Amino acid sequence: MLSRLLHFHLPNPRLYRSPRFSRTATMSTVAPSLSEITSKPGDRSNLIPFSKRLREGRALAQDVWSIFNAANLPPTCINLGQGYMNFAPPDWVKEAATEALGSVAANHYSHPKGRIRLRNAIKQFYGPKFDRDLDVESEILVTSGANEGQYAVFTAFLEEGDEVIMFEPYFDQYLPSVTFNGGRPVFVPLHPAQNTAGKASSNDWSIDFEQLRRAITPKTKMIMVNTPHNPVGKVFTRQELEGIAALAEEFNLLVMADEVYDCLVFDDKEHIRIATLPGMWDRTVTVMSAGKAFACTGWRVGYLIGPPSIIFPTLAATTRIVFCSNSPLQEAAAAGLEQAVERKFFETQTAEYAERREILCEAFDALGLTYYVPDGTYFVLLDISGVQWPEDYQFPSSLDGRGRDFRAAWFIAETVGVSTIPVSEFYSAEHAVIGERFIRFAFCKDADTLRTAAERIKDLKKYLKL
């Protein structure tokens, strides 16, 4: 994630925390003098104050990814924290990448809309799923990963102070993407069912529609709908999506359907696209990711599908942000979509992920802790309320002021050697208490790695409250 990387490369964050760099100071139109911005005479290491927008959206805060970075954890720790695979993309997709690199055209700029081969492949693959004859010129846009596509939509549609509703837990990148574009995030928590014990379902997390309605103000411009949902694994039901659609229609909201895990839905559960509900096509942009579909998260290829009224302004924005997405890997993503049906690729991949999910879930069953079997995605949430560490256990100062889930995740990583992500990171301060009960495991790892992790997880038994 860009935010994770930036943390290491930006000027000393201590400087921006200095009282001299208070909100009023940075917003002042008078440029600070050299003596005001340097702490010691002759210090020229941070001459130019950086923009206040980095402070909003937690862009400079020490985030969960840097705290739970492999370098801070035991070297033998198995990383089930970050959501990227420890296996390669399929050979036939990689071969298409190699072939593209061997050509001339695919090494150069593409059209900002995306390469025509990929747009055609998206049309063929997704047209039937949207029940539309998608227009490759005006209804499909290739972006540099789903992230950049989402950023471009915010750039295209947000006015200063516009509010964007997001369900908590939310995908962390939403926050800076909204605030960098002048928007204001408004958080509405999903609610885990009360009194669940042992194996529960990701669908036990529900929307309080009254709370959602109360969150809407005259400033609300957009609502994010992430299904299948990271990190809950929930696949939103038709009824839930109809409820959201009705509010979007009533209050004239733009819907950003984040469906990057659309190809990872288990147990024949139906993945419903909110864009296909009556009247919703005109106000919905759907976001997908080749990275998730073909195990190539670093390739940074994503795509948007929506009506021309949303795609054209977003095209204008993305053209000015990146101009175009990387060309050879667009060709490879196109090959992936072109051949996926014939190869039954997603069916096979989903079955493999279902097996991986099972390996982890069996370990949780053995512990008897509450966890939520995901209907989609490659994440599973474990309720760590029952995990108890010794009272005198020493935690690093980076966890000071963080939730109990941070300590649980740290303790588990150090004690049993499996790293995870504390879920309160994906909440506003107001609702963080809900997230503090959970840690997230990513099972986008090969089965052997997961089996080893599962054995280690069972060792937690010693640390459960009686």
Ligand X SMILES: Cc1ncc(COP(=O)(O)O)c(C=O)c1O
The per-residue b/e assignment along 26-58, b for 16 or more CB within 10 angstroms, e otherwise, is beeeeeeeeeebbeeeeeeeeeebbeeebbbbe
* CB of residue 158 to ligand X, shortest distance in Å: 18
**Contact flag: residue 79 with ligand X (CB under 6 A):** no
Residue nearest to ligand X (CB): 145
Q: Helix %, strand %, coil % for the chain, to 5? A: 45, 15, 40
Q: Which of 112, 291, 403, 435 binds ligand X (CB under 6 A)?
A: 291
Asked whether 169 and 372 are in contact (CB, 8 A), the reply is no
Say how many CA atoms lie within 13 Å of 247 toward its Cβ. Answer: 24
Pick 232 or 409: Cβ nearer ligand X: 232
- Name which of 168 and 415 has its Cβ closer to ligand X: 168
Q: How far is the CB of 12 from ligand X (least distance, A)?
A: 28
- Closest contact distance (angstroms) between CB of 246 and ligand X is 23
Task: Convert residues 22-61 into a mask of x (bound to ligand X by CB under 6 A) and - (unbound).
Answer: ----------------------------------------
Question: Would you say 1 and 230 are in contact if contact means Cβ atoms under 8 Å apart?
Answer: no
Distances (CA, A) of 36 to 21, 51, 54, 55: 9, 16, 20, 19
Bridge-based pairing of strands 284-289 and 220-226 is unpaired
Q: How far is the CB of 458 from ligand X (least distance, A)?
A: 28
Binding to ligand X (CB under 6 A) within 362-391 occurs at none
Q: Among residue numbers 108 through 147, which ones bind ligand X (CB under 6 A)?
A: 145-147
Whole-angstrom Cα distance, residue 452 to residue 226? Answer: 31
Give backbone dihedrals phi and psi of 326, rounded to 5 degrees, phi first.
-65, 130
Among 78, 207, 224, 260, binds ligand X (CB under 6 A): 260
DSSP one-letter code for 122: H
Distance CA 56, CA 42 (A): 30
Identified binder of ligand X from the candidate list 139, 163, 258, 383, rule CB under 6 A: 258
Query: Minimum Å distance from CB 280 to ligand X?
Result: 19
By beta-carbon proximity to ligand X, the closer residue of 199 and 269 is 269
CB-nearer residue toward ligand X: 154 or 171: 171
CB of 146 to ligand X, least distance (A): 3
Compute the least distance from the CB of residue 33 to ligand X, in Å.
41
- Reduced to 3 states (helix: H, G, I; strand: E, B; else coil), residue 18 is coil
Q: Is 185 in the site for ligand X (CB under 6 A)?
A: no
Give the 3-state DSSP-derived string for 29-83, with helices as H, strands as E and coil as C: CCCCCHHHHCCCCCCCCCCCCCCHHHCHHHCCCCCHHHHCCHHHCCCCCEECCCC
Distance CA 232, CA 205 (A): 8
User: Judged by CB, which is closer to ligand X: 186, or 444?
Assistant: 444
Using DSSP bridges, classify how beta strands 220-226 and 254-258 pair: parallel, antiparallel or unpaired: parallel
Per CB under 6 A, 289 contacts ligand X: yes
Shortest spacing between CB 260 and ligand X, in angstroms: 4
Pick the closest to residue 222 from 263, 162, 167 (CA basis).
162
Count residues contacting ligand X (CB under 6 A)? 13
**Closer residue to ligand X, CB minimum distance, 285 or 363:** 285
CB 369 within 8 A of CB 382: yes
Q: Is residue 297 at the binding interface for ligand X, with CB under 6 A as the rule?
A: yes
Q: Candidates 167, 171, 427, 443: give the one binding ligand X (CB under 6 A).
A: 171
For ligand X, which is the closer residue by CB, 162 or 258? 258
Q: According to CB under 6 A, which residues from 217 to 246 bind ligand X?
A: 226, 230
What residues line the site for ligand X (CB under 6 A)? 83, 145-147, 171, 226, 230, 258, 260, 289, 291, 297, 302
